[in-house]
């Protein structure tokens, strides 16, 4: 049940950030044959896959980039978060896209903040 709640919190965060930055972040490009509910299902799947990427890929990237993260006093972790979000856009079946890496960096910070707030409200 915890995975579903986290995926839902992340999906809500992606939706809010897409509302804040509508020209640069797009979601729901695929509807799975369900029409409008399919767009929201694709948003949930994007939240689920982002959670899985954060759980499995992000620690490996953080471990590999630890010297650079230490050199930049932890600021490189923002770049790692943006890279994970950028990886999410490489899965076309999710219907999630970001214009470029700079917007991925901005969106990753906003998604982290909104997801943290939503998680606090849910728990």
Per-domain boundaries in the chain: 2-122
The predicted pLDDT at position 1 comes to: 59
pTM for this entry: 0.89
pLDDT digits (tens, 9 = 90+) for 39-53: 889 999 999 999 999
Q: What residues contact 86, with CB distance under 8 A and at least 6 apart?
A: 98, 101, 104
CA 108 – CA 39 distance, rounded (Å): 21
pLDDT digits (tens, 9 = 90+) for 53-111: 999 999 999 999 999 999 999 999 999 999 999 999 999 999 899 999 999 999 999 99
Which tokens sit at 85? 């979000």
Residues 23-44, mean pLDDT to the nearest whole number = 86
Q: 109 — phi, psi (to 5°)?
A: -65, -45
CA 6 – CA 8 distance, rounded (Å): 5
């Amino acid at each position: 049940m915890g995975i579903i709640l986290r995926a839902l919190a992340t999906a809500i965060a992606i939706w809010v950030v897409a509302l804040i930055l509508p020209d640069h972040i797009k979601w729901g490009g695929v509807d799975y044959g369900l029409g409008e509910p399919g767009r929201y299902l694709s948003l949930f799947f994007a939240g689920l896959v982002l959670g899985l990427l954060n759980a499995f890929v992000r620690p490996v990237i953080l471990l590999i980039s630890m010297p650079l993260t230490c050199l930049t006093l932890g600021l490189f972790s923002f770049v790692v978060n943006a890279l994970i979000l950028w990886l999410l856009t490489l899965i076309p079946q999710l219907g999630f896209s970001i214009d470029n890496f700079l917007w991925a960096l901005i969106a990753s910070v906003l998604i982290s903040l909104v997801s943290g707030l939503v998680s606090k409200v849910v728990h």
